[in-house]
Structure 1
Amino acid sequence: MYRSWWKILAASLVIYATVAGFLMPVPRMAILNETIRNLYFHVPMWFAMIVLFSISVWYSVRFLASGKESDDLRAVESANTGIIFGLLGLVTGALWAGYTWGEFWSFDPKQNFAAIAVLLYFAYFVLRNAVDEEQKRGKISAIYNIFAFPMMVVLLFVLPRLQDSLHPGNGGNPGFNSYDLDSRMRLVFYPACLGWILVGYWVYSICFRLRSLENKDIH
C-alpha cells in the first residue's frame, strides 16, 4: 500500500475528472457549447504523451552512456505507451473538431503537425524492427529518439503558432486560459492532467516489467 499511493491517486484523479467532466457545469461559449468538456480528455492525452516521450529520450541518453539493456527497454516501453496516448489525443481531437468545426479532419495546421509528430515515433519502431543485432539496434534507435523528441516539440508547439489555426492559442486565437478556462474548469482540468500522466506512467511501468520478464525467459 505504501508504494502504491501514487497508483491510488492516479485512479482517483481520473475517476474524479471523468465524472466531474461530464456532470459539472461549464462556461457557455459560442460554437463550443457542451463540447468544451472534451478539454478534460483531449489535452491531458497530449500532456501524458509528452511526459512519456520525455522519459523515453532520457533513457535513450542513459543507454548510450551505459549500454544497459534495461535502459533501452525503458526507452522503448515509454515510447510505446506514449504512442497510445498520442493516438488517443488525435482521436479525441478529431471528435471535437467534428462537432465544432463541422469535419473530423479539416487539415488544420495543428492537426497536421500533431499527426506528423506521432508518425515520427512510429518511424522509431520501424527503425528498431529493421535492425537485428541488439546493441546496434539500441544505439541507432536511441540516437534517432534523441533527435525525434525536439522535432516533436517543434511540431506541436512552434510551427502551429506561425500559422493561422482554429485551435485555441494559435494564429492569434486566444488560448483557453485567456477567456474560458474559469475556476470551475480548473478544478477538473488540472486533476485530469495529473491523473492521466500518472496513469500513463503506470501503464509504462507495467509494460516494462512484462518485457523484462519476457527477456529473462528468452535469455
Structure 2
Amino acid sequence: MAKHWWKALAVLLLLYTIIAGFLVKVPAIENNQQSTRNLFFHVPMWVCMYTLFTISVANSILYLTKYDLKKDILASCAANVGVLFGLMGFVTGSLWATYTWGSTLTNDPKQIATAVALLIYLAYLVLRMSFTDIDKRARVSAIYNIFAFALLIPLTYIIPRMVDSLHPGSASSPGFKSKDTDGTLMMVFYPAFIGWTLLSVWIYTLLARYKRLELKNIFK
C-alpha cells in the first residue's frame, strides 16, 4: 500500500481543489468575476497535457534507440491521455472565453495556436491507426511524435506570449498572480496543479497496464 501513497494524495488534493475552489473568496480581476475559479481547473489541464506529452516523446526517443515496442506502447498511452487533458483544457478555456471575451471560439492567437497543436496530436493518434504492421507503426509514430512535441511548445507557450492576446500571460495581458494580493488563488492553484497532474499520470499508468495485458502475447 505504501507505493500507492501518491494516488491517495491525488484524491485528497482534488477533493480540496473542488471544495476550496468553489468556496474560497476570489479577487475581482477585471471582468472575470467568479469565472476566476476556472483557474483551478483550466490551467492544470494544460499542465497535465504538457506532462503526458513529455512522457510520450521521451518514450518515443527511447524506442528509437533500442526499438523496444514496450516504449512505443507507453508513448501511445501517454499521448492518448495527453490529448484527453488537452481537450478538457480547450473546453474549459472556451467556456471561460464565453463569459469574459463574449465568444466561445475567437481569433485569439492563444486559442488558435492551441487548437492547431491539439490537431497535430490528434493526427498522431489517427496515424497510428493507419498501420497494420506494428514495427512500422512504431517507427513512423515515434518520428512524428518528436516533431509534434517540437511544435507544441512554440505554438502553445512561446508564440502566444510574444503577441497581443486577450489571454492572461500574453504580451498585452498580465497573468493573475500579480492581482492575487492575498494569495488566495495560489493557495488553491498549487494543490490543484499537483492533484490534477497526479491524476493524469494515474490514468496513464492504468491505460499502459491495460495495453500491456491486451498485447501480452507480443511482450512475452
TM-score of the aligned structures, taking structure 2 as reference length: 0.96
d(CA) in 2 for partners of 1:131, 1:210? 21
d(CA) in 2 for partners of 1:117, 1:49? 11
d(CA) in 1 for partners of 2:217, 2:192? 38
- Runs of 4+ with >2 A deviation: 178-182
d(CA) in 2 for partners of 1:53, 1:29? 32
Is the aligned partner of 1:109 residue 2:102?
no
User: What whole-Å deviation, never above 9, does each CA across 1:48-82 have from its counterpart, x for those lacking one?
Assistant: 00000000000000011111111111000000000
CA-atom RMSD, angstroms?
1.3
SS in 2 for 1:216: coil
Is the aligned partner of 1:130 residue 2:130?
yes
d(CA) in 2 for partners of 1:33, 1:181? 16
Aligned to 1:5: 5
For structure 2, the residue ranges without an aligned partner over 5 or more in a row are none
Aligned to 2:79: 79
**Count of residue pairs brought into register by the alignment:** 219
d(CA) in 2 for partners of 1:41, 1:202? 17
Q: Residues 134 and 182 from structure 1, CA distance in 2 versus in 1: closer, same or farther, beyond 3 angstroms?
A: farther
SS in 2 for 1:4: helix
d(CA) in 2 for partners of 1:185, 1:177? 8
d(CA) in 1 for partners of 2:36, 2:181? 10
Shift of 1:180: 3.0
d(CA) in 1 for partners of 2:53, 2:182? 30
In structure 2, what residue type is equivalent to 1:184? T
User: What whole-Å deviation, never above 9, does each CA across 1:179-201 have from its counterpart, x for those lacking one?
Assistant: 23741111100000110000000
Aligned to 1:94: 94
TM-score of the aligned structures, taking structure 1 as reference length: 0.96
Aligned to 1:174: 174
Aligned to 1:201: 201
Q: Residues 181 and 104 from structure 1, CA distance in 2 versus in 1: closer, same or farther, beyond 3 angstroms?
A: farther
Aligned to 2:158: 158
Identity, % of aligned positions: 47
Shift of 1:178: 2.5
Shift of 1:217: 5.3
For structure 1, the residue ranges without an aligned partner over 5 or more in a row are none
